[in-house]
Structure 1
Amino acid sequence: MTATLTHIDGIAADEPVYRILLIEDDAADALLVEELLHDTELRFELTTSISLAEARSALATRAVDCILLDLHLPDVSGTDAVTTVRAMAPHTAVIVLTGLSEKQAGSEAMAAGAQDYLVKGKVEAELLRRTVRYAVYRSHTERTAAEAQSARQRAEENARLERGLLPQPLLDTSAVTVTTRYLPGAEQALLGGDFLDVVEGDDGLLHAVVGDVSGHGPDAAALGVCLRIAWRSLVLAGHRGTELLHLMERLLVAERGTQPLFATVSLLALDQKACAATLYLAGHHEPLLTTSEKTLEVAAEHGIALGIDPGHHDWPATIIPLPDAGALTLYTDGLTEGHNGDAVGRLGIEGLLPLINTTPSADPAAHLDSLIRQTRALNAGRHTDDLAVLRLNWGFHPA
């Protein structure tokens, strides 16, 4: 049965408390280790388990800095004990306890992943003290290095995904100002399946897309990149409206394989000469129209998301009259589905519009940054959806 002992009294307060798990089925050897730990003058919490099964339960309920491991347990022995314990606690220091006759066991244990080894019967308090402190320090250093490497890899992967999900707008003569923002749903997370793009076509119209692939992680991101690249290629090839959405849906179905992924999409074609925009919504919510007076949600017709019912092809167009100066904002639901400051209610469009209309908007980039900061502060990390925002400004910036 697992037992826990705490020893911190009478030792300098600046000495760390080492949480130690001893896995030893021999009661006499376990008592010897306990007495040696007292003599080391370490501050420690000692938990003792007599089998690997007990140790597994102990590790599931408490954090451990160091494991003292006997190589001969009722349910595992030898280097298998080391590899099993390392798998159970990959970031915890492991010190193996070997017998006097096991000359090769210590080196083999270290090759299997242990930080160090001690020979029973030859361990003194000072040696145990140094070994525990060094093994824990080395384990922490290895963990920090691994986390730093993981962070670098995430940053590199995000950079590659950004190039696919967030391309540079392809503009020639357009006077429209394009502002974009993209944030993953969780800190240090990979970008998800949200995507956006802006292209000026040979027809003189400014074409924009914002989309959101269901789910999170690399599969959603890969499909988002695929749809974004396909959209740009199809627009430049002259495809428009319902035909364009149909082709994107065919590609989605082919690329998602057996995964039940779908995508919501907003397509927008902005005609600056006619002061109008044509909008198609495939399962996506309405964009926002900013005038010199205020920002409102555009009233628009809806169609089904891509991949929900392939071949349905019912995506009605909505014509939006535009003011001489203003802005259109297309976004994914990460902007509105966060909490509104309490633990229950969502922000929603009802909470978003007052924030927009009370946030200075002369500078589109500063306006988006301020808006995102406010929504994230209200959410306080409780909702973790990705966020993509695309804002198109034309004429004079609204006051």
Structure 2
Amino acid sequence: MSAGVDEAGYRILLIEDDPGDALLVEELLRDTALRFDLTIRTTLAEARVELAKDTIDCILLDLHLPDVSGTTAVGMVRDLTPHTAVIVLTGTAEAQAAAEAMAAGAQDYLVKGRVESELLYRTVRYAVYRSRTERAVVETQAARLRAQENARLERGLLPRPLLDTSTVTVTSRYLPGADRALLGGDFLDVVESDDKLLHAIVGDVSGHGADAAALGVCLRIAWRSLVLGGHRGGDLLNLMERILIAERGDQPLFATCTLLTLDETAATATLHLAGHHEPLLTTDEGTHEVTAAHGIALGIIPGEHRWPATVVPLPPRGALTLYTDGLTEGHNGADTTRLGVDGLLALIKNLPSTPPDIHVDLLIEQTHALNAGRHTDDLAVLRLDWDTRLHRI
């Protein structure tokens, strides 16, 4: 046991209905070298209330309480607080009961009438040490499983762009909003189809956590498969909505997304907005928000099928940036208002001229600095850069 634990003291809960035995345990504790804070309760019902309002390091448990006894008592205590050390108190003729209590989850046992202060000192210290070691092992295993799940979700949410002949430079970033959470519901992807068109999507499933992330992965994979299968525009969004409805089950989840089809030969980009905001277009003159028709989010009104197309002419050199609202919904510095698109454009205007990946990183860094942790949301950014003056198409 570390010195720090001893200095802080042990919070001990004694569950014992015999006043004489309770007094004896308290006196023995005072004879030890332990720093402790002792709480005494006479029934498991009273102990349940105490465990709900305070953190306990060690429970000394009599096996014969008015409301529960034997290994049942041990099991119920372990259910209430699975990572707290439990030491059972038994009678001199209860060797079998002590063994069964240990099998039920108690760290150790003490025989009433045969306990000395030194034995009590060692038993409490080692029982707490073992319980905390067990907890550390459980937390480590949970962290490992969480990391593995994150890796699986990340592979689904952040695939490698599928490009063949395209000369467009793709830059993508993803950041989950909640601390230590699984990846959220934002997703993105880029593929080049057989007709040499470049297709991109950025989307956002409502909510956070594993359910939103799983649905995001499902939609992203469905989008890639449908695009490569030749589906486009409203037909593609209709199929994605049908998949969303089937996969969300009873959960009231919906999704927004921006579809983009970039035709390098025609120098155009075709946009379909499903409840999502417009992308940003960067040219030699600066960056502005593209004007595009809006459609309804997927899953809000199934069967509405309202996703108009907008064709945007592209300059010989430029960039399109698609993003989720985690980039704009944070606070604008000391101001209580949100950053918004206008604030985002102001930030971009003041950024130095850098390569696309550095530019995106700087933009995210500055929005986070202004927000200062006051608003957390998942964030996905996808930037597509082209220069036909360097690459003859």
Structure 2 unpaired stretches of 5+:
none
Letter in 1 for 2:166: S
- Residue 128 in structure 1 maps to residue 138 in structure 2: no
Aligned to 1:200: 192
Classify the secondary structure of the residue corresponding to 1:239: coil
Q: What are the superposed Cα offsets for residues 99-153 of structure 1, whole Å, 9 maximum, x if unpaired?
A: 2221112221121111111111111111111111111111111111111111111
Instruction: Give matches, 1:177-216, under 5 Å.
Output: 177-216=169-208
CA distance in 2, matches of 1:337, 1:73: 56
Note the C-alpha offset of 1:342.
Answer: 5.4
1:5-44 equivalences under 5 Å are 15-44=7-36
Cα pair 2:223 2:240 within 8 Å, conserved:
yes
1:332-383 Cα deviation digits (max 9, x unpaired): 2222223344595433323333333333351222222233233334444443
Partner of 2:377: 385
**Matched residue SS, 2:165:** coil
Match of 1:77 among 48, 69, 83: 69
Structural RMSD (CA): 2.2
Aligned residues of 2:203 and 2:256 also touching (Cα < 8 A): yes
Give the structure 2 partner of residue 298 of structure 1. 290
Decide which of 158, 168, 193 is 1:176's aligned counterpart: 168
AA in 1 matched with 2:24: L
Deviation at 1:12, TM superposition (A): 11
Closer/same/farther in 2, CA of residues 372 and 46 from structure 1, 3 Å limit: farther
Take 1:297 and 1:151, find their aligned partners in 2: how far apart are those partners? 41
Does the aligned pair in 1 maintain the 2:6–2:34 contact within 8 Å?
Answer: no
Superposition TM-score, scaled by structure 1 size: 0.91
Match of 1:327, SS?
strand
- Cα separation, 2, equivalents of 1:340 and 1:50: 56
Using a 3 Å threshold, how does the CA distance of structure 1 residues 14 and 157 change in structure 2: closer, same or farther?
closer
Provide the residue aligned with 1:6 in structure 2. none
Number of aligned residue pairs: 387
| Inter-CA distance 101–257: structure 2 relative to 1 (3 Å threshold) | same
Distance 1:239 1:214 in 2: 25
| Counterpart selection for 2:38 from 19, 35, 46 | 46
Amino acid at match of 2:113: G
Q: What SS class does the counterpart of residue 172 from structure 2 fall into?
A: strand
State the secondary structure of the residue aligned to 1:329. strand
1:166 maps to 158
Report the Cα offset of residue 50 of structure 1: 1.7
- For residues 307 and 281 of structure 1, what CA distance do their matches in structure 2 show? 14
Alignment equivalent of 1:93, drawn from 85, 92, 97: 85
Q: Report the 3-state secondary structure (helix = DSSP H, G, I; strand = E; otherwise coil) of the residue aligned with 1:104.
A: helix
Q: Is 1:225–2:217 an aligned residue pair?
A: yes
In structure 2, give the amino acid aligned to 1:103.
A
CA deviation map 1:154-184 (0-9, x unaligned): 1111111122221110001111111111122
Q: Tell me the residue number matched to 1:248.
A: 240
Tell me, in whole angstroms, the C-alpha distance in 1 between the residues paired with 2:149 and 2:196.
35
TM-score, scaled to structure 2 = 0.92
Contact 1:15/1:42, CA 8 A, preserved across alignment? no
Range with greater deviation from structure 2 (102-111 or 218-227): 218-227
Question: Relative to structure 1, is the Cα distance of residues 138 and 12 closer, same or farther in structure 2, using a 3 angstrom cutoff?
Answer: closer
Post-superposition offset of 1:392: 1.0
Of 280, 286, 289, the residue aligned with 2:278 is 286
Q: Are the equivalent residues in 2 in contact too, given 1:98–1:119 (CA < 8 A)?
A: yes
Q: Which residue pairs with 1:258 in the alignment?
A: 250
In the alignment, structure 1 segments of 5+ residues that lack a partner are: 1-10
Question: Identity of counterpart residues, as a percentage?
Answer: 74
Shift in Å at residue 237 of structure 1? 1.6
Give the conservation status (yes or no) of the 8 Å contact 1:287–1:328. yes
Tell me which amino acid in the other structure corresponds to 1:241. G
Say which SS state the counterpart of residue 351 (structure 1) adopts: helix
Alignment-derived partner of residue 318 in structure 1: 310
Instruction: Give 1:229 shift.
Output: 1.2
Equivalent position amino acid for 1:188 in 2: R
Cα distance in 2 for partners of 1:108, 1:377 equals 57
The question of whether the paired residues in 1 share the 8 Å contact of 2:6 and 2:35 is answered with: no
Moved more, 93-102 or 335-344: 335-344
Contact 2:90/2:110, CA 8 A, preserved across alignment = yes
Quickly say closer, same or farther: Cα 1:265–1:100, change in 2 above 3 A. same
- Do the aligned partners of residues 49 and 337 (structure 1) sit closer, same or farther apart at CA in structure 2, a change above 3 Å counting? farther
Which of these residues, 139, 145, 153, is aligned with residue 147 of structure 1? 139
The residue matched to 2:203 in structure 1 has which SS? strand
Partner deviation per Cα, 1:43-74 (whole Å, 9 max, x = no partner): 11112222222222212222221111112222
**CA shift for structure 1 position 13:** 10
